[in-house]
């Protein structure tokens, strides 16, 4: 949905139980026209979608967020200041689902943390 439109993957590295990725945000994307004019920030729902899509790329399955146990928005992602965002995910696989802990960050600044359960859609 957002992959290769709102952002692209500059780097994606997956190993059992972990994902590391670097995302390049498209500053000219229409989402930033309304969120917010003159002060663009990445909407929280987009951060959640990015985590879901990273897990879909990793698992090669269509997933849905079934539960979001813990979600923290710690700092805004402004594409003028942070064109590239890093993602670090750890997960455990259970039958038909993945329990994921995800962090979006740039350098020492953490933007978003999520603990969620993703299930096959």
pLDDT tens-digit profile of 29-72?
A: 999 999 888 899 999 999 999 999 999 999 999 999 999 999 99
Q: What is the mean pLDDT of residues 12-30?
A: 97
Going from N- to C-terminal start, the domains of the chain cover 7-120
Mean predicted lDDT score pLDDT of the chain: 97
> In sequence order, what E strands does the chain have?
7-15, 18-25, 63-73, 84-94, 97-106, 109-120
pLDDT tens across 60-74, in order? 999 999 999 999 999
Provide the 10 A C-beta neighbour count for residue 54.
Answer: 24
**Which CATH number is 7-120 given?**
3.10.129.10
* pTM, full prediction: 0.96
């Amino acid at each position: 949905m957002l992959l290769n439109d709102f952002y692209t993957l500059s780097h994606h590295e997956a190993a059992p139980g972990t994902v590391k990725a670097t995302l390049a945000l498209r500053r000219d994307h229409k989402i930033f026209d309304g969120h917010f004019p003159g002060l663009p920030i990445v909407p929280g729902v987009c951060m959640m979608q990015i985590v879901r899509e990273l897990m879909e790329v990793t698992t090669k399955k269509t997933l849905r967020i079934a539960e979001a146990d813990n979600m923290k928005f710690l700092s805004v992602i402004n594409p003028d200041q942070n064109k590239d965002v890093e993602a670090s995910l750890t997960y455990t696989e259970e039958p038909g689902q993945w329990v994921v802990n995800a962090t979006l960050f740039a350098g020492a600044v953490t933007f978003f943390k999520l603990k969620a359960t993703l299930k096959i859609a």
